[in-house]
Structure 1
Amino acid sequence: MASLELLGFGSTGWGALLLLAALMTLAVTATALAIGAVLGALVAFAKLSGNALLVTLGNVYTTVFRGVPELLIIYLIYFGGSSAVTSIGTAMGYEGFLGLPSFAAGALAVGIISGAYQAEVFRGAFLAISKGELEAASAIGMHRGLRFRRIIMPQVLRYAIPGLGNVWQLSLKDSALISVTGLAELMRTSQVAAGSTRQYFLFFIAGGCLYLILTSLSDRIFNGAERRANRSMPASAMGQA
């Protein structure tokens, strides 16, 4: 009964705070995925451009941010960024420490990591497009913008959905590391609740269950999006993809 009260929505319960923290986790992950989509698209374009310098820069980006521990990147963005902002403020005559907002720093850090993985997802999706379609589009005189809008982008998005689902799940779990910045997301709130009540097992299990619910719902959403995107494709084409 005591456990149910602690997880409930009464005056002594942590249920409402845990649900709000789960929503914060979703907000951070969605923002990070959007940031990563922009960075990933740019890096994928660079790696597919054929320009030696751009290809090298793209490879460096994906190698570094897929190889360096995620927590280190969060530390660099949050603490390093705060130090940089403070130095700029001091140079402009402002006294005191200027810290980056936890949400912004965390979403940016996870977004940069996400971008390295999304770049490979988008690159692979582009390479899955039939070369014959691109050649046919050029043969009938489609300019680059029209070819991108009608042929490349729709198919890249369709082929990228499974990979983006994996990146979303990765970012959802990486968001737990943002707890080191003090942001009240799911992991941080679970830690605070466990420390305040000394019920560590209860609240960490509750936090884990909420993460499982989020990942399970995410799987259903991305699987549904994949089925919807592929419903107009013949089975043979889906098998080849």
Structure 2
Amino acid sequence: MNFDLSGFGPALAAGTLMTVQLALSALCLGLVLGLLGAFAKTSPYKPLQWLGGTYSTIVRGVPELLWVMLIYFSTVNVLRELGESLGVGSLELSPFAAGVIALGLCFGAYATEVFRGAILAIPKGHREAGQALGMSKPRILWRIVMPQMWRIAMPGLGNLFMILMKDTALVSVIGLTEIMRQSQIAVTATKQAMTFYLVAAIIYLSLTVISMIGLHFLEKRASRGFVRSTQ
């Protein structure tokens, strides 16, 4: 197998960096949306429950690729008109920003269910113990609910991040030069499809392995107090 990259090595490295930046940015947005969605769905207020359930249902019911294209192309006219009304010229949503929003939106919808399950798995007695000690609701949330929620949710969030890392390839359809897009450009120029697609597969696999190692240490750290309490 010929692994001569024909000068496209730096481009693939830049694409790898772009993929990592996209995945981490979408992860940050998705975690915020997931937490908000989970707290809404577990809220005692019906409107918030409806809002959280509607968000997770609609977003999970539409393919990620379609969200990428919808967010990128549907904002073109809106941003153009907004820019003209503000007198700053034509505004445009970059492929990177559109990818972060789309992937973060999708990650958040699935993370909503993961966080919701983690919150419901925490025994009610733990909250009642906090109330008995005179702790306020925000303090109970921060000191009792959140640490346990993260420990329970971590494996599910790890699986979602693995999916997110691979879903970054979908953003290549709107021109973002991540791994998949750079590989397509290299294949078009060199006609060595097998070489560059195999290299792209190896890069994705390497990123997945590195992520798995990092998640393993995060899970161990999140479970430290729990492990000691069971010994």
**Does the alignment reach a TM-score above 0.5?**
yes
CA–CA distance in structure 1, aligned partners of residues 227 and 12 of structure 2: 44
SS at match of 1:100: coil
Per-residue displacement from partner, 1:89-127 (whole Å, max 9, x unpaired)?
A: 2344566x5421111111111000111011111111111
- The question of whether the paired residues in 1 share the 8 Å contact of 2:147 and 2:222 is answered with no
2:70 corresponds, among 76, 84, 108, to: 76
Q: Structure 1: which amino acid aligns with 2:131? A: S
Q: Which moved more, 1:78-87 or 1:104-113?
A: 78-87
Q: Which moved more, 1:67-76 or 1:124-133?
A: 124-133
Q: RMSD of the TM alignment (CA)?
A: 1.9
2:228 is the counterpart of 1:232: no
2:42 corresponds to which residue?
Answer: 48
SS at match of 1:42: helix
How far has the Cα of 1:222 moved from its partner? 0.7
Per-residue displacement from partner, 1:55-106 (whole Å, max 9, x unpaired)?
A: 11111110111110111111111111122101222344566x5421111111
1:31 corresponds to which residue?
Answer: 25
Aligned length: 231
Q: Structure 2: which amino acid aligns with 1:5? A: D
Q: Structure 1: which amino acid aligns with 2:197? A: F
SS at match of 1:5: coil
CA–CA distance in structure 2, aligned partners of residues 237 and 77 of structure 1: 47
* Correspondence 1:172-191 to 2 at 5 A: 172-191=165-184
SS at match of 1:31: helix
- The question of whether the paired residues in 1 share the 8 Å contact of 2:59 and 2:105 is answered with yes
1:128 corresponds, among 76, 97, 121, to: 121
CA–CA distance in structure 1, aligned partners of residues 140 and 221 of structure 2: 23
2:59 corresponds to which residue?
Answer: 65
- The question of whether the paired residues in 1 share the 8 Å contact of 2:82 and 2:91 is answered with no
Per-residue displacement from partner, 1:140-167 (whole Å, max 9, x unpaired)?
A: 1111122122111111111111111011
How far has the Cα of 1:135 moved from its partner? 0.8
How far has the Cα of 1:173 moved from its partner? 1.3
Higher relative contact order (CA 8 A, sep 6+): 2
The percent identity for this pair of structures is: 45
CA–CA distance in structure 2, aligned partners of residues 117 and 13 of structure 1: 40
2:188 corresponds to which residue?
Answer: 195
1:212 corresponds to which residue?
Answer: 205
2:4 corresponds to which residue?
Answer: 5
Change (3 A) 1:221 1:94: closer
Stretches of 4+ moved more than 4 A in 1? 92-95, 235-238
CA–CA distance in structure 1, aligned partners of residues 141 and 39 of structure 2: 12
Per-residue displacement from partner, 1:36-57 (whole Å, max 9, x unpaired)?
A: 1111111111101021111111
2:156 corresponds, among 156, 163, 179, to: 163
Q: Structure 1, unaligned stretches of length 5 or more?
A: 7-11
CA–CA distance in structure 2, aligned partners of residues 36 and 177 of structure 1: 17
Q: Structure 2: which amino acid aligns with 1:219? A: M
How far has the Cα of 1:219 moved from its partner? 1.1
SS at match of 1:83: helix
